[in-house]
């Protein structure tokens, strides 16, 4: 499905990003793994190689323009171009607007939104007229929130708006831009949240899963499958789409 494609996957050391890197490699893409965590990023590369794929790792802080520009260029130069960008860098912080410290707000915006902007900014020049695709990872919390996630929800809403703007701006260059909005996904970040708010991680995953009509949380691989589809020519007439991957969470009212 992605044979011959060159993909840059951010946040690929863990969670959805790692699942995307492995999934795209399984479909034939060569992968540039971009992350701050060198040890886990290199593990993703090794796992891709073990399954018969090709990948390289680039250590990068997605908040720093010079590092992002260099990372994008090095991956494009190594493989001879760039067809796919999958933006997955993200953190979760808790608090309402009164209780969120300014530096925490800035941290969430820089990690979640600034990184998406920067990787996209520097990838576009390598993607023009190549039937390219950018897929941003947002969240259901861009549309329907909960208490105490002011910064996170805002950042995810910004990614949705950025996706739509980019889709319009770059359609004439042959670059499609779409967005996935997962519900609860079994990732290290979700388990970190479970440890903060529940006596048992597994119990929390079950309870949160039960709030989804499908009755469970998602596997990262299920989100990665949708991202891989959007990156492929099978989605050649899809741009500006905001796709929930949420087990029906957004269609369910909060009352029975």
For the chain, domains (ranges, CATH) are 6-248 (3.40.50.720)
The confidence band for 105, taking pLDDT boundaries of 50, 70 and 90, is very high
| pLDDT at residue 256 is higher than 60 | no
Name 218's bridge partners. Answer: 185
**DSSP, residue by residue, 34-94:** EES-HHHHHHHHHHHHHTT--EEEEE--TT-HHHHHHHHHHHHHHHT---EEEE-------
Residues 6+ apart with CB under 8 A from 133: 83, 84, 85, 175, 176, 177, 178, 230, 231, 232, 235
Distance CA(177)–CA(157), nearest Å, equals 16
pTM of the model as a whole: 0.94
Q: At what angle do helices 65-79 and 115-127 cross, to 10 degrees?
A: 30
Q: What is the pLDDT of residues 118-144, one digit of tens each?
A: 999 999 999 988 899 999 999 999 999
Distance CA(14)–CA(112), nearest Å, equals 15
The two tokens of residue 238 are 């899809």
Distance CA(163)–CA(158), nearest Å, equals 9
State residue 36 phi and psi, 5-degree precision. -80, -30
Give residue 31's pLDDT: 98
Q: What is the pLDDT of residues 17-67, one digit of tens each?
A: 999 999 999 999 999 999 999 999 999 999 999 999 999 999 999 999 999
| pLDDT at residue 253 is higher than 80 | no
Does the annotation count 122 as an active-site position?
no
Catalytic residue (choose from 27, 94, 122, 152): 152
Q: What is the pLDDT of residues 147-197, one digit of tens each?
A: 999 999 999 999 999 999 999 999 999 999 999 999 999 888 888 777 777
């Amino acid at each position: 499905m992605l044979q011959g494609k060159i993909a840059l996957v951010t946040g690929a050391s863990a969670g959805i990003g790692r699942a995307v890197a492995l999934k795209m490699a399984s479909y034939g893409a060569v992968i540039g793994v971009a992350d701050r965590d060198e040890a886990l990023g290199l593990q993703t590369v090794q796992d891709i190689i073990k399954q018969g794929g090709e990948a390289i790792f680039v250590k990068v802080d997605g908040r720093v323009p010079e590092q992002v520009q260099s990372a994008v260029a090095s991956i494009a130069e190594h493989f001879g171009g760039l067809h796919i960008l999958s933006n997955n860098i993200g953190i979760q912080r808790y608090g309402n607007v009164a209780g969120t410290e300014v530096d925490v707000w800035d941290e969430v915006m820089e990690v979640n939104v600034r990184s998406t902007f920067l990787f996209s900014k520097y990838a576009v020049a390598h993607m023009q007229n190549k039937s390219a695709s950018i897929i941003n990872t947002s969240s259901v919390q861009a549309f329907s929130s909960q208490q105490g996630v002011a910064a996170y929800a805002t950042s995810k809403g910004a990614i949705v708006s950025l996706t739509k703007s980019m889709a319009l701006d770059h359609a004439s260059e042959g670059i499609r831009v779409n967005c996935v909005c997962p519900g609860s996904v079994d990732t290290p970040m979700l388990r970190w949240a479970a440890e903060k708010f529940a006596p048992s991680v597994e119990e929390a995953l079950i309870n949160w899963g039960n709030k989804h009509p499908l009755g469970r949380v998602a596997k990262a691989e299920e989100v990665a499958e949708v991202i891989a589809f959007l990156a492929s020519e099978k989605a050649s007439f899809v741009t500006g789409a905001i796709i929930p991957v949420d087990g029906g969470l957004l269609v369910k009212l909060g009352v029975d």
